[in-house]
Structure 1
Amino acid sequence: MKTIIKYILAVPLMLCFSSCLDEHPKDQLDQEAIYNNADNIYKNAVASLYNYIGSNQESEGLQGTCRGIYDYNTLTTDEAMIPIRGGDWYDGGLWENMYQHKWNANDINLYNVWKYLFKVIVISNQSLSIIDSHKTLLSAEQTRDFTAEVRAVRALFYYYAMDMFGRVPIVTSYDVKLEQVTQSERSEVFKFIVDELQDVAPQLADEHSNKEGNYYGRVTRPVANFLLAKLTLNAEIYTDDNWTDGKRQDGKSIYFNVNGEKKNAWETCIWYCEQLRQEGYELESDYASNFAVHNENSKENIFTIVR
């Protein structure tokens, strides 16, 4: 009798487990419902990337969050410091180690910054794959514009990764296997970022992203021009793969193709700053120490650039 009861109880339990395993969560949407038209493709594959620019998590976000990119770029220099008063703000020596350049490969906060940057790069690659696989729902212009904006966002995050870590992998496919990923020299990553921004800039919206409206906070053409100016201003650093030998290539001998013209790093930087000026932006000269850019022939001071 006990055996019969066991079998009777086992049947509904098995049916229950089978039903639970076959459950369809109501808080998740089917992928085809998410990417079923141009508007949803933009919202979920392009606009969603901007959620990662800011963050409420430590070590994440491009600016403003604690123990992240801003701190590692500011508190490691003489721009700012965090004084320790008694036991306050010591935090296990975190800020002191930053200021004294004593971080190492076991620094969990620095590792979290790395994970954050490459998480967004991988998600950007996924977005490019989604746009490509759903391009039958998009016009040729939409496919071009959506792709350009995602590539520009990815280039922005590659800039921060390259600036902070030097040698990083260049991964442009969402389906690449881990064993296929190799480290690239900083100069290679620098060239990749410049090429990407130059290639997509003409397809980006020629709008101010600092003004309220549809383009507020987005990577537009002026953003790309600003980033290109910043990259070429620091070309001497970013093209130097052996930064321990005390030697560095002069910016006058580092060349770029700008609209079919060959320009050195300083000329290229000036050209992109001029594009920003024509867009209605102004360069601030009272924000930080000045960097004077000189014309190679006349040696006249053209204007002042700051970080």
Structure 2
Amino acid sequence: MKTINFKKVLIGGLSVMFMASCTDLVNDEKDSIVRANEGGGGFTPGNPTELLVSAYKDLSAYTDQANIYALGQHPTAEMIPPTRGVDWGDNGVWRTLDQHTWDATHSGIINAWNQLNQRVYKCNEIIASNPSAAEKAEAQFLRALNMFHVMDYWGQVPFREVTDGVDVNPKVLTRSEAFDFIVSDLEAALPGLENRGPAPLQATASKAAANFLLAKLYLNKAVYTAASPAGPYSFDNGDMAKVISYVDAIIADGYEISDDFFGNFTADATTETILNSAEGTPQNRWMMTLHYDQNPSGWNGFTTLADFYDTFSDEDIRKGIPAAADGSNMSGIGHGFLIGQQYKDDGTPITDSRSQQLLKFTRDVSLAGTPTDKGIRVIKYHPAMAGKYILMRFAEAYLMKAEAMMRSGDTAGALAMINDLRAKRQASALSSLDENSLFDEIGREMYWEGGKRTTEVRFGKFTTGTGALIQDDYTVLYPIPSPAIVSNPNLTQNEGY
């Protein structure tokens, strides 16, 4: 089996550099190479059912704390990755995300590019392998989902047909071309997808999931089709009407805002879960923030910032629920924001085993030289009751509809929606609504769920954060990884890099 040109065989613009957490991708790529080289270099169809199962397993990449998730969350005002002694130094990969000082050799950028583009190609293989109508629709949805993130993060999308020879450099879709391609995929997929209402496990594509992604596409269309990636953006009323229509279709399937905010992130979640990953558990979300002396012992990593914490009123249930500390396993962990003295499961105050001081999480936190107790920790998925990792939640669709209403002139209707949501979250009603207050409300509902960067870009706030050393407009797009630029001359490096 020849492997010397495997970059071109697979997607022809990607690096071969992978982190240890992504070793599954090496096997996937090898399988793709074998199929692409059988029969003298032509594509040989595989088993579409088996390939589709594998494509769904690949959604586990979204549950990692690095790569895809990190690019969507770390450069924002919701999260900071403190370096504590030598912990979380990692050659600066986290600090550069926080400070917007990344470049085309950043390992997280390379890995995310590889993961997403490899998954797009795998879906191409499924579609070319004589799938059933339902399998084709699901593959089109998954291709659209992964391509969406490539378009969103990098503004251009390499695309290799399975029939392309190994010496063919993949064509590259512009951002607007990729937008049209993704919309076409989803519109073609919709009739063949299952019409499914709320359930705790939503591990396969459905009409609601496709409508969710279509709503997100049209909400951000002004960004993806703007003359400049950093704007200004002009939101078209027709696009906003489509957002509302797609969300209304989700509502018609029975989805609604849950009365139990943190219940959304448990095994009993029902009314809000549109799509989740069946693979594993969302343990990275608590491990990446909990202190090593808590139960479970965490990695003592990421925290939120006091400025974001202060956007919550005390009565807002989303701010958190204190730990029960009733003696049951992991009951010493609260929900939401963990601040102040932390406790063992039996209610005994925790002492930091390194400093020998009481473990009290503080409001203040710095990026480097940070003591082990600094920073407010965040728990949405509680380790004692977590369900599967959520990729699409109805509350986000609900907020997309409210935003579309406001942007198209119905501010009163949007305010009514926001206040209905706030009532569910035990927060007092807002008296008025503008872009800033809506932006804050989206943050209060969707914090740490991986999409903050996209929201900040759309609202024109991505380059204004106090933690960013570089606030230049070009940072609204990530650089094309250097190995990809070298291997595919059809790619052009994004401005500024």
**Is 1:95 matched up with 2:81?**
no
1:183 corresponds to 2:169: no
Note closer, same or farther for the CA distance 1:241–1:108 as it changes in structure 2 (3 Å cut). farther
Alpha carbons of 1:202 and 1:82: their partners in 2 closer, same or farther (altered >3 Å)? same
**Of the candidates 211, 219, 234, which is equivalent to residue 249 of structure 1?**
234
Alpha-carbon contact 1:42-1:146 (below 8 Å) kept: yes
Q: Label 1:115 to 1:241 Cα distance change in 2 as closer, same or farther (>3 A).
A: farther
The alpha-carbon deviation at position 283 of structure 1 amounts to 5.0
- Show the counterpart of 1:267: 241
Within the candidate set 53, 74, 77, 1:47 is matched to 53
Contact 1:232 1:269 (C-alpha < 8 Å) held by counterparts: yes
Other-structure match for 2:141: 152
RMSD of the alignment, in Å?
2.9
Distance in 2, matches of 1:80 and 1:298, equals 32
Counterpart position of 1:281: 255
Distance 1:209 1:199, change over 3 A: farther
Structure 2 distance, partners of 1:73, 1:297, is 29
Partner of 1:125: 124
1:137 alignment counterpart: none
1:241 positional shift:
4.6
Match of 1:301 in 2: 413
2:226 matched residue in structure 1 = 240
Give the TM-score, by structure 2 length: 0.44
Q: Structure 1 116/103 Cα, relative in aligned 2: closer, same or farther at 3 Å?
A: same
Note the alpha carbon deviations across 1:228-256, whole angstroms, 9 max, x for none. 11111111111125225x4333333xxxx
Answering whether residue 84 of structure 2 is matched by residue 85 of structure 1, we say yes
Q: TM-score, normalised by structure 1?
A: 0.69
Supply the AA of the counterpart residue of 1:265: D
The answer to whether the aligner puts 1:222 opposite 2:334 as a matched pair is no
Q: Which residue of 2 aligns with 1:162?
A: 151
**Higher RCO (CA-CA < 8 Å; seq separation 6+):** 2
Q: Tell me the number of residue pairs that the alignment of Structure 1 and Structure 2 aligns.
A: 237
Deviates more, 1:293-302 or 1:104-113: 293-302
The SS at the match of 2:203 is coil
The separation in 1 between residues aligned to 2:107 and 2:206, in whole angstroms, is 34
Question: What is the SS of the residue equivalent to 2:130?
Answer: helix
C-alpha displacement at 1:298, in angstroms? Answer: 5.5
- Measured at CA, do residues 88 and 299 of structure 1 come closer, stay the same or move farther in structure 2, by a change above 3 Å? closer
Q: Aligned partners of 2:164, 2:117: CA distance in 1, in Å?
A: 14
TM superposition shift of 1:82: 1.4
Deviation at 1:209, TM superposition (A): 7.2
SS at match of 1:201: helix
1:108/1:280 CA distance change after superposition, 3 Å: same
Runs of 4+ deviating beyond 6 Å: 284-288
Unmatched 5+ stretches in structure 1: 1-27, 32-39, 55-60, 133-142, 253-263
The residue that corresponds to 2:190 in the other structure is 201
Deviation of 1:195 after TM superposition, in Å, equals 1.6
1:109 deviates by 2.3
Q: 1:294 to 1:106 in 2, by over 3 A?
A: same
SS at match of 1:184: strand
1:23 corresponds in structure 2 to none
**What is the aligned-residue identity percentage?**
25
Q: Give yes or no for contact 2:48–2:126 (8 Å, CA) kept in 1.
A: no
Which residue is equivalent to 2:289? none
The answer to whether structure 1 residue 292 and structure 2 residue 278 are counterparts is no
Q: CA deviation at 1:46?
A: 1.9
1:45 shift after superposition: 2.8
**Deviation at residue 108 of structure 1 after TM alignment:** 2.3
Q: What whole-Å deviation, never above 9, does each CA across 1:13-34 have from its counterpart, x for those lacking one?
A: xxxxxxxxxxxxxxx9xx9xxx
Shift of the alpha carbon at 1:112? Answer: 1.4
- CA offsets per residue over residues 118-168 of structure 1, 9 Å max, x none? 111111111111126xxxxxxxxxx22221111111111111111111111
Q: How many Å separate the matches in 2 of 1:165 and 1:292?
A: 24
Secondary structure of the residue aligned to 1:169 is strand
Deviation of 1:277 after TM superposition, in Å, equals 0.9
Aligned pairs for 1:51-70 within 5 A: 51-54=57-60, 61-62=61-62, 64-70=63-69
In structure 2, the residue matched to 1:17 is: none
| Partners of 1:236 and 1:250 within 8 A in 2 | yes
How far the C-alpha of 1:183 sits from its partner, in A, is 1.9
Question: 2:311 is matched with which residue?
Answer: none
Which residue is 2:217 aligned to?
231
- Matched residue type, 1:151: Q
Match of 1:255 in 2: none
Kept in 1: contact 2:75–2:99 (CA 8 A) = yes
Answer whether contact 1:145 1:203 (CA < 8 A) is retained. yes
1:98 Cα deviation from its structure 2 partner: 0.3
Residues 50-70 of structure 1, C-alpha deviation per residue, up to 9 Å, x if partnerless? 11111xxxxxx02x2132111
Q: Which amino acid aligns with 1:203?
A: G
**Contact 1:162/1:186 (8 A) holds in 2:** yes
**Preserved CA contact (<8 Å) 1:127 1:150:** yes
- 64-73 vs 41-50, greater mean Cα deviation: 41-50
Q: Which has the higher helix share?
A: 1
The farther-off stretch of 200-209 and 296-305 is 296-305
Measure how far apart 1:276 and its partner are: 0.9
Aligned mates of 1:201, 1:158 — CA distance in 2 = 17
What is the match of residue 14 of structure 2? none
Output the CA distance in 2 between the equivalents of 1:47 and 1:115: 20
Shift, 1:41, TM fit: 4.2
Q: Is the 8 A contact 1:45 1:130 kept in 2?
A: no
